[in-house]
Amino acid sequence: MHVETCVLLVKELADDDEVVSIKVDLDGIVLDQGKHTTPEKPTYRNIKKWVKDNYGLNVSNLYIAQVKNKAGLEKRENYRIGSGEGRVPNCPPEKEEAIMDAFRHFSLI
C-alpha cells in the first residue's frame, strides 16, 4: 500500500532575520500541476480491460474467479449459483497466465 502525506510547515518569526530552510527530495515525485489521478482498483471490469489491452484476450468473470481460487485470493459470495447440472468451462492456460499477470499489475499477489 502506498501513502503520501503533504505537510505545511510554518513558523512565525518575531525577527525577520531568522530564516528556516528545508530541503525536500523530489526524486520519484511527479509534479502534474495539482492533478491527482487515483490508481485503478482491481475490479473484474478493470482486470478484463487490462488483459484485453495487454494481451488482446477476452476473459470472463468465471475465468477470473477460477484463477482467484488457484491463487488463494478472497472472493465475495456468489448469489447466482446454478443447479450444478451444466458444464463449467475451465480457464485455458494462456488466459490464466494473463490474469495472473493482471493480478501482479494490480498488486493482488
Q: Among all chains, which residue has been given the C-alpha cell 527530495?
A: 25
pLDDT at 83: 77
Per-residue pLDDT of 60-109, as tens digits, reads 988 998 999 888 888 777 777 777 787 888 899 999 999 999 999 988 88
Q: How sure is the predictor about 49, in pLDDT bands with cuts at 50, 70 and 90?
A: very high
Are 109 and 71 in contact by the 8 Å Cβ rule? The answer is: yes
Closest by alpha carbon to 76, among 86, 68, 85?
68
Of residues 45 and 85, which shows the higher confidence score?
Answer: 45
Q: Cα separation of 48 and 51, whole Å?
A: 5
- In angstroms, the first-to-last Cα distance of the chain is 12
Q: How sure is the predictor about 31, in pLDDT bands with cuts at 50, 70 and 90?
A: low
